[in-house]
Amino acid sequence: MFVRFICNAVLSKRILYIFLFVLGNFLLSAQSNRLILTRAKTAMADKDWFTAAQYYNKLYNRDSSDVAVQFDYAEASRLNFDLDIAFRLYNKVVSIDNGKIYPLCFYWIGQILKNKEQYKEAKKWFTKYSKIKKGKNKSAPDYYAVKSKLEIEACDLSLILIKNPVKQKVEHLDTNINSKVSEYAAFESDSTLYFSSLKSTGKKDVNEVNLNKIYSSEMRKLKWQKVKALDTSINATYLHNANTCFSEDYKQMIVSRCKAKNATEYTCELYLGNYVNNKWQPLVKMPSPININGVNTTQPSFGKMNGKTVLFFASNRSGGEGNLDIWYCLQNADGTFENPVNCGKKINTPDDEITPWFVNEQKTLYFSSTYHKGLGGFDIFKSEFKENDFTEPQNAGYPINSSYNDIYYSVNKTRDRAYLSSNRVGSYFENKLNCCNDIYRFEIEPLSIPPKPVDTLQLLKGQMKVLCPLTLYFHNDEPDPKTKNITTTKNYETTYNEYKMLVPQYLNEYPKGAEGEQKTVAINKVENFFADSVDAGFEDLKRFSDLLEKVLLKGETVKITMKGYCSPLASTDYNVNLAKRRISSLRNFFNQTKNGWFVKYIDNKTPGEGKIIYEDVEIGELLMSKVSDDLKDKRNSVYSPYAAQERKIQIIAVSFE
């Protein structure tokens, strides 16, 4: 007994030591995690995305199931241009959360897919985000709600732009100019290229802080020569120097000089220098109202509007539309400048509008924006200055624009070439794809030729074609169940609304029998089907009808080809009739929507007016269907998202005669 007591005492002491050891390690680990998280959040606040990503990576490696860490790590990775990591992490969050706590995952997955030129997939995610109801989820900001709807249209437009490229061939400048760091803000004058870069042209002192400088390179025998940094009268030795512009007579130069605000942002001011006695005088900071203390004023360029010299620049000063806006101010005869004027709401948006360049001959402002409808990142846009106002911006087209950032459009002095900077695929980088901008150029038509007007009819037709195949979904045996009729009095909008009312029933029936994470996944599948397929299809139908109205008003004949499908829960004959009823409901939609506006155009015989022609391609159940046809197994044959995917009709094509 005594021996047993001693053994038990020893054993208890060992257990106590083990418990204390484990508890100590747990407390140390928890304390360490809190410290790492604090440092990660501090780095994010300082916009030091690289450091933040490293800290979140440590936390993720310790507990990869923590959804909050997954999301924060995804955010830091996206901002640090680690898009593949961000994409994987956002999808992990969505697989469990499905937009309930982290709805912005939908939006950012869409943006990353847009960068990858997967526009149809990106559109689905933007649509998912746009459907989030603020009453249900207060974390959906108004900005993203509006922006996601613009991105849906931008995805459609991107497909059209890629299918209809501009004729210019974009050339990537070689390594005599471009390096593994960023090169940008190029301007060619008299066979000399001026540009900005963080590169170093000589041996670098280990204690030297690397600053952006303005460089030049001469063209000899069709080859760019070794680049040279401009002297210290232009390149300050204590600030970043960037964004050169010259006056029309090349007697004045304006440069942005910038200092770091945090790890990734800068505050810039404009400095002006005069060319006197064949030499550039030291640059002097421009006075108010050009520069304002604490305000970012950058990216200058000269132009002429209504015969007067104008200085354009980007600035986040008050009185704008948000973030960086494009401003301009007139230069007086004595060289002074008048008060800056905002370019207005057609140009400026809640996002950044940057890198203005005014082409005098065409009275057209070129600039870059992330808000106007583009292919991804910053796109280059153009807007004509007409009757003292700027027109609606137009996308400069593909391949001038890419799915990444395209900025700093400029035209050379001889007016036969244009330059831009981009981090598109193919740009040089040191250790991270798409991290850095390179300089590109392309030939342009003589500026004496007026710019071609946009063919709005072709654009409308293109947008309609991009929406096809346009897929619409139905509940089982709808419309008009248990009949063999081939027509219905319901229109598709009615069946859509009735279908949406059944969502709670689907959420109850399909997850039956599942527990824990399996149940969550089943619920997510149902929610995603209604958001990605049912809702998205109806939104596309409304968009299609809006475009159809505009095309008909231009006198076009439009042929709409429809096709019906069914799941295999009845005989083929029954399914054929059901497919016809579903097509009938879509015809009824066009007859009744917009207060019956389309009726007069259906088989319209009036010469010169628009006309709608319907073409039906009926089919019963889908070939090789893997969906259950067991009526007793309603979970899989009726309420399964896989079965629901087969109960559909499509506008498979639209053509114009």
Residue 617 lies in a domain: yes
Return d(Cα 79, Cα 87) in angstroms, integer. Answer: 12
Domain tally for the chain? 3
Give the residue among 579, 346, 403, 409 at the shortest CA–CA distance from 484. 579
Phi first, then psi: give them for residue 192, nearest 5 degrees: -120, 130
Instruction: Please answer whether residues 323 and 350 qualify as being in contact, where contact means their C-beta atoms are separated by less than 8 angstroms.
Output: yes
Tokens of 209: 């802080």
Return d(Cα 230, Cα 212) in angstroms, integer. Answer: 12
175-208 as b/e, with b when 16 or more CB fall inside 10 Å? eebbbbbbbbbbbbeeeebbbbbbbeeeeeeeee
Return d(Cα 85, Cα 656) in angstroms, integer. Answer: 44
The answer to which of 38-52, 190-204, 350-364, 535-549 has the lowest mean pLDDT is: 190-204
Return d(Cα 357, Cα 365) in angstroms, integer. Answer: 6
3 pLDDT tier (thresholds 50, 70, 90): very low
pLDDT, position 278:
87
Instruction: Please check the confidence at residue 626 and state whether its pLDDT lies above 90.
Output: no
- For the chain, give the mean pLDDT: 89
- The residue type found at 78 is R
**DSSP assigned state of 535:** I
pLDDT digits (tens, 9 = 90+) for 20-52: 444 455 444 555 889 999 999 999 999 999 999
Going by DSSP bridges, is the β-strand pair 611-617/557-564 parallel, antiparallel, or unpaired? parallel
The Cα-based distances of 236 to 205, 212, 257, 284, 602 in angstroms read: 17, 10, 8, 11, 70
Residue 14 lies in a domain: no
Do both 425 and 479 map to the same domain?
no
Do both 308 and 435 map to the same domain?
yes
Residue 505 lies in a domain: yes
Residue 98 lies in a domain: yes
Q: Which of 430, 454, 478 is the last residue of a domain?
A: 454
Return d(Cα 438, Cα 421) in angstroms, integer. Answer: 5
The answer to which of 121-130, 580-589, 631-640 has the lowest mean pLDDT is: 631-640
Instruction: Please check the confidence at residue 589 and state whether its pLDDT lies above 50.
Output: yes
Averaged pLDDT, 332-353 = 95
HEC states along 351-409? CCEEEEEEEHHHCEEEEEECCCCCCCCCEEEEEEEECCEECCCEECCCCCCCCCCEEEE
Tokens of 614: 């319907």
pLDDT, position 159:
95
Do both 155 and 182 map to the same domain?
no
For residue 22, give the 3-state DSSP assignment.
Answer: helix
Element (H, E) at 649: strand 648-656
Phi first, then psi: give them for residue 52, nearest 5 degrees: -60, -45
- How many CB atoms lie under 10 A from the CB of residue 150? 16
**DSSP assigned state of 307:** T
What are the beta bridge partners of residue 309?
304
| CATH code of the domain containing 122 | 1.25.40.10
Tokens of 423: 């981090």
Do both 195 and 295 map to the same domain?
yes
Do both 311 and 421 map to the same domain?
yes
Instruction: Please check the confidence at residue 137 and state whether its pLDDT lies above 60.
Output: no
Tokens of 483: 């009949």
Which residue segment(s) compose the domain that 341 sits in? 171-202+210-454
Contacts 24+ apart (CB under 8 A), 98-101: 98/523, 98/524, 98/527, 98/528, 99/128, 99/129, 99/132, 99/137, 100/137, 101/67, 101/139
Phi first, then psi: give them for residue 616, nearest 5 degrees: -105, 140
Tokens of 624: 């090789």
What are the beta bridge partners of residue 241?
257
Residue 333 lies in a domain: yes
Residue 24 lies in a domain: no
Averaged pLDDT, 126-135 = 81
Do both 580 and 509 map to the same domain?
yes
Do both 468 and 440 map to the same domain?
no
Instruction: Please answer whether residues 537 and 545 qualify as being in contact, where contact means their C-beta atoms are separated by less than 8 angstroms.
Output: no
Residue 238 lies in a domain: yes
Instruction: Please check the confidence at residue 165 and state whether its pLDDT lies above 60.
Output: yes
Do both 298 and 442 map to the same domain?
yes
Tokens of 366: 């070129």
pLDDT, position 198:
87
pLDDT digits (tens, 9 = 90+) for 509-518: 999 988 888 8
Averaged pLDDT, 51-65 = 94
Return d(Cα 491, Cα 586) in angstroms, integer. Answer: 6
Residue 467 CB partners (closer than 8 Å, separation 6+): 156, 540, 543, 544, 547, 651, 654
- Side-chain half-sphere of 248: how many Cα atoms within 13 Å? 13
| CATH code of the domain containing 449 | 2.115.10.20
What are the beta bridge partners of residue 386?
389
Do both 466 and 444 map to the same domain?
no
Contacts 24+ apart (CB under 8 A), 626-634: 627/567, 627/568, 629/567, 629/568, 629/569, 631/569, 634/509
pLDDT digits (tens, 9 = 90+) for 432-484: 777 889 999 999 988 877 777 778 899 899 999 999 999 999 999 999 999 99
The answer to which of 369-373, 385-389, 399-403, 547-551 has the lowest mean pLDDT is: 385-389
Return d(Cα 467, Cα 545) in angstroms, integer. Answer: 11
The Cα-based distances of 657 to 551, 552, 559, 609 in angstroms read: 12, 12, 8, 12
pLDDT, position 32:
86
Return d(Cα 250, Cα 285) in angstroms, integer. Answer: 19
205 vs 491: which has the higher pLDDT? 491
570 vs 656: which has the higher pLDDT? 656
Do both 462 and 479 map to the same domain?
yes
Return d(Cα 449, Cα 173) in angstroms, integer. Answer: 27
Residue whose pair of structure tokens reads 């609606």 in the numeric block = 392
Averaged pLDDT, 580-600 = 95
Radius of gyration of the CA atoms of the chain, in A: 31
Q: Which of 414, 434, 454 is the last residue of a domain?
A: 454
Do both 257 and 398 map to the same domain?
yes
Give the residue among 279, 217, 216, 271 at the shortest CA–CA distance from 240. 271
pLDDT, position 27:
46
136 vs 587: which has the higher pLDDT? 587
Return d(Cα 146, Cα 447) in angstroms, integer. Answer: 37
Strands (E), 465-583: 470-473, 557-564
pLDDT, position 344:
95
pLDDT, position 382:
96
Going by DSSP bridges, is the β-strand pair 389-390/394-395 parallel, antiparallel, or unpaired? unpaired
pLDDT, position 568:
65
Averaged pLDDT, 68-83 = 95
Averaged pLDDT, 256-270 = 93
Query: How much of the chain exceeds pLDDT 70, in percent?
Result: 90
pLDDT, position 246:
92
202 pLDDT tier (thresholds 50, 70, 90): low
pLDDT, position 623:
57
- The residue type found at 597 is W
Return d(Cα 448, Cα 459) in angstroms, integer. Answer: 26
Going by DSSP bridges, is the β-strand pair 364-369/379-386 parallel, antiparallel, or unpaired? antiparallel
Give the residue among 465, 476, 469, 654 at the shortest CA–CA distance from 582. 476
Residue 489 lies in a domain: yes
Instruction: Please check the confidence at residue 561 and state whether its pLDDT lies above 80.
Output: yes
Do both 581 and 607 map to the same domain?
yes
For residue 93, give the 3-state DSSP assignment.
Answer: helix
Q: For the chain, give percent helix, strand, coil, nearest 5.
A: 35, 25, 40
pLDDT, position 6:
41
Query: How much of the chain exceeds pLDDT 90, in percent?
Result: 71
